[in-house]
Structure 1
Amino acid sequence: MTDLFRGLDLTGVFANAVLGGVIARRARLDPVGFAVLAVLSGLGGGIIRDTLLQRGTPVALTDYAYLLTAFAGAALTFVVRVEGPWWNRVWPVLDALALGCWAAAGAQKTLDAGLGWLPAVLLGTITAVGGGVVRDIVLRQIPAVLGGNTLYATCAAAASGVLVVLQERGYPAAGSLAALVVGAGLCLLARWRGWILPDADGWSPTRIHRRPRT
């Protein structure tokens, strides 16, 4: 299980680092820009989690595989234009798997630090979406997870919640696997069905849809 999740973790880092590189190319950034966006996209959430937990140096800085994987994604996208139908098919699957894996890892690490279920769900979600949020802020954009897109943070919160419940019942290994399946499955289903959370006006009971006059 440990080797499996490490493999998925690094795969997710690489996939999101490539996404950061794709965005850097669209913004016409230089190699430093590619590296920065790749690291933020692939490692930002885990670094935020480890910093908040204050249980030692963030893993991304002690295990060289993480930074090297992010830099590899940046280098690939700087040299090769990554786009097209194949990318549009492959990346959502890798991203969904990464979301489930990162949410499970973040929630598990929070519980191991002695914190309760609510911080575990919160930090599991931050682990999964934090990198993308920081990347969007650096680019002076409203983070995609804050609205107008298919469910993402919601999927991470659901995955974190599944892990917490099964962990409390004494099934840590099953909890990690179930969190991965729930997070990834719900993310892919939301993309396929186009599920999004309603905005503030969508909740308003006073909202009236008038038929245009002809």
Structure 2
Amino acid sequence: MAGWLSPENVTQVTRVLDLSGVFANGSLGGVLARARRLDLFGFLAIGIVSGLGGGIIRDTLLQHGTPVALTDYAYLAVAAAGTMLALVAFVADLSRHTSGWTFNLLDALALSVWAVAGAQKTLAVGLGWLPAVLLGTITAVGGGAIRDLLLVRTPSIFGGTPLHATVAVLVSGVMVGCSRFGAPTLGILAGIVVGVSLRLAALTWGWRLPGSRDWRPGPLRRRGS
């Protein structure tokens, strides 16, 4: 058990999770690009931006060296591999499956593993719990937000869709809480399980935060009444 809790192992697991998020989000970007009928270059661009965007934003804000996506060739390779699904989508038209179980599971996994990885990387450079939650969330939703803007879609983090950024905040909080109690490995596992479960439940039953259109002012009361 002690081996699993060693800093070296936690760092390696975090890297694997980070790369998993790169691949998953690159794939998601390709599928959504197909729905917008982009050309081949558009598929590749959206896939790479979706896969690397969140991590680059995180590493830039951490100011702890050059973003890892630009120094570790594995990130570019995995992002390119993720775009292979985009190429499949280009030929096979996978856009009709973007609301199916496979797409939802991929989305939930990508959101959860990146929130965990972002929070853990922030803690690893010595920052506190609040920056870890914030950067875990940014890691999880940043690439998707950029992707949505490029596709002229309202980013999911701004509402109108089942719980998205809220799930990333919760997963980051789970990771931070477990780490503070000396159990980062438990935080990784618990964060992913909680995030995937909550995201899939939100997608299945349409859970979302109330929007401004759902708010109605109550009747004004006279002073003294």
TM-score (structure 2 length as normaliser): 0.82
Query: 3-state SS of the aligned residue for 1:201?
Result: helix
Query: 3-state SS of the aligned residue for 2:210?
Result: coil
Mapped partners of 2:173, 2:14: distance in 1: 18
Task: Return the match for 1:112 from 103, 106, 124.
Answer: 124
Q: Residue 85 of structure 1: CA displacement?
A: 4.8
Task: Return the match for 2:75 from 49, 66, 81.
Answer: 66
How many residues align? The count is 207
Mapped partners of 1:47, 1:186: distance in 2: 26
**Match of residue 138 from structure 2:** 126
Q: Rate the CA distance shift 1:75–1:166 in 2: closer, same or farther, 3 A.
A: closer
Mapped partners of 1:128, 1:186: distance in 2: 15
Task: Return the match for 2:25 from 5, 9, 16.
Answer: 16
Mapped partners of 1:167, 1:204: distance in 2: 41
Task: Return the match for 2:34 from 16, 20, 25.
Answer: 25
Q: Residue 27 of structure 1: CA displacement?
A: 2.8
**Match of residue 36 from structure 1:** 45
For residues 123-162 of structure 1, the aligned pairs below 5 Å read 123-162=135-174
Task: Please say if 1:192 is aligned against 2:204.
Answer: yes
Mapped partners of 1:77, 1:46: distance in 2: 20
Q: Which runs of 5+ in 1 are unaligned?
A: 208-214
Task: Return the match for 2:56 from 42, 47, 53.
Answer: 47
Q: Rate the CA distance shift 1:132–1:188 in 2: closer, same or farther, 3 A.
A: same
Amino acid in the other structure paired with 2:137: T
Mapped partners of 1:24, 1:85: distance in 2: 13
RMSD: 2.3
Q: Residue 102 of structure 1: CA displacement?
A: 0.7
Contact kept? 1:9, 1:98, Cα under 8 Å: no
Contact kept? 2:116, 2:191, Cα under 8 Å: yes
Q: Which runs of 5+ in 2 are unaligned?
A: 1-8, 220-225
Q: Percent identity of the aligned residues?
A: 57
CA deviation string 1:70-101 (max 9, x = no partner): 22332442353224459822121122122111
Q: Residue 205 of structure 1: CA displacement?
A: 3.6
TM-score (structure 1 length as normaliser): 0.86
